[in-house]
Structure 1
């Protein structure tokens, strides 16, 4: 599977609606987790995605403010997450939405909320790290991201066991 990094112009992001009526009507909010949420967030990611992504998210809890967001249903269940400044400064990712909640725009909301936070730090561009080719259209359509040529494995070249990553 081909992978590459993508570049996003943060000064051309679509408008962010901090209160999405569709999500609110379904009891879904997007927020930064609290410190006491850390174990639940990491467990959610390990269970639904991968240990590698959980490790990256774990790093975001050392940043101030925490450089991740969670989507929570009815203030009980984590159903999605997104991170930045995990693999490196100004890198977006990972991001994930629980399978049964995909297709409703939640991924795009998490992406936008996170990229707006990156923009607030003063960046004009952001890097979406190690995008699988099958996911590139989502980033291109949602935020106009473009592939960075010859960017794999890029910043991840020294990661242990990268050859085995799916």
Structure 2
């Protein structure tokens, strides 16, 4: 077995390996490219691929926030974005990959390593609880749970917006609210509002949504004032979110209307499934009638010696 750094020609076999090692998830070539070579923070020397007979049998993708998001740059923190090992080789390969990655991060002065909540360029928010062997591996190596999150998986093939949602839409319209897709000329004001209200991670995802034509963004306005926003297909085509409403405008159904507007658009664009990733707002999303699956994740962390 040899350990090498990630190369672009390894993407396809690594996608296949990841989907074999993590069978309850689905990683595409786009996901792999987005989280590696398209990440401005990407550093191949923080990636480790175990090779045998010219094929990968394990991968550990590390990252540090060195360039983006600028407001979140840190030299003290490192992340393990992805850790996947051929199930038949885990006992031998997994410790070698983890040791190589932790050693490299320690050399760079990293004090804490997290798995795998690297906002903006993440595969998953953490490790799915279904992967008990993987969680046990990390906890046996000194990692502890520091947070948790869920994904909701929605069946859009049976999603139909109810008359109740339309009545709420009419109600807020009569109160002077407007829900619409912003024009490209409005991008700067929308992105600025998201940054000021919710921070840099959601700003980044909103910018990504403006790549589409038309933008995969909805905003709620009252007069000239933005009071809420929602995004879909920003990082992954089947991902919904983020979504947010100004604090003084909550509890008047604007968030629910924005949520349903996005899900309706995703269905009309031909998507069969929508994923609401990395959330802890359990009751807000529970009102969607066609939720088919909930994925539960542990976010892990370990202090390492510099």
* 1:26 paired residue number: 175
2: CA distance, partners of 1:38 / 1:98: 18
2: CA distance, partners of 1:96 / 1:152: 24
- Preserved CA contact (<8 Å) 2:221 2:228: yes
* 1:50 shift after superposition: 1.3
| Counterpart secondary structure, 2:286 | helix
1:37-116 to structure 2, matched below 5 A, reads 37-74=186-223, 76-116=224-264
* 1:17 shift after superposition: 2.2
* 1:156 paired residue number: none
- Preserved CA contact (<8 Å) 2:168 2:257: no
**Length, aligned pairs only:** 152
1:12 correspondence with 2:159: yes
Computing the radius of gyration from Cα coordinates, the structure with the larger value is 2
* 1:142 shift after superposition: 3.8
* 1:27 shift after superposition: 0.8
* 1:144 shift after superposition: 4.5
CA RMSD after TM alignment = 2.2
Gaps of 5+ in 2: 1-146, 302-306
* 1:13 shift after superposition: 3.5
* 1:147 shift after superposition: 4.9
Per-residue displacement from partner, 1:74-133 (whole Å, max 9, x unpaired)?
A: 2x001000001112111000000000110010000000001101001111220001112x
1: CA distance, partners of 2:286 / 2:292: 6
1: CA distance, partners of 2:168 / 2:186: 22
1: CA distance, partners of 2:208 / 2:272: 23
State TM-score, norm by structure 2: 0.46
1: CA distance, partners of 2:265 / 2:167: 12
1:154-165 to structure 2, matched below 5 A, reads none
Match 1:117 to one of 255, 265, 268 = 265
1: CA distance, partners of 2:287 / 2:175: 24
2: CA distance, partners of 1:126 / 1:118: 7
Gaps of 5+ in 1: 154-161
2: CA distance, partners of 1:14 / 1:146: 17
Per-residue displacement from partner, 1:10-44 (whole Å, max 9, x unpaired)?
A: 22343252982211122101000001100110111
- Preserved CA contact (<8 Å) 1:108 1:142: no
- Preserved CA contact (<8 Å) 1:32 1:66: yes
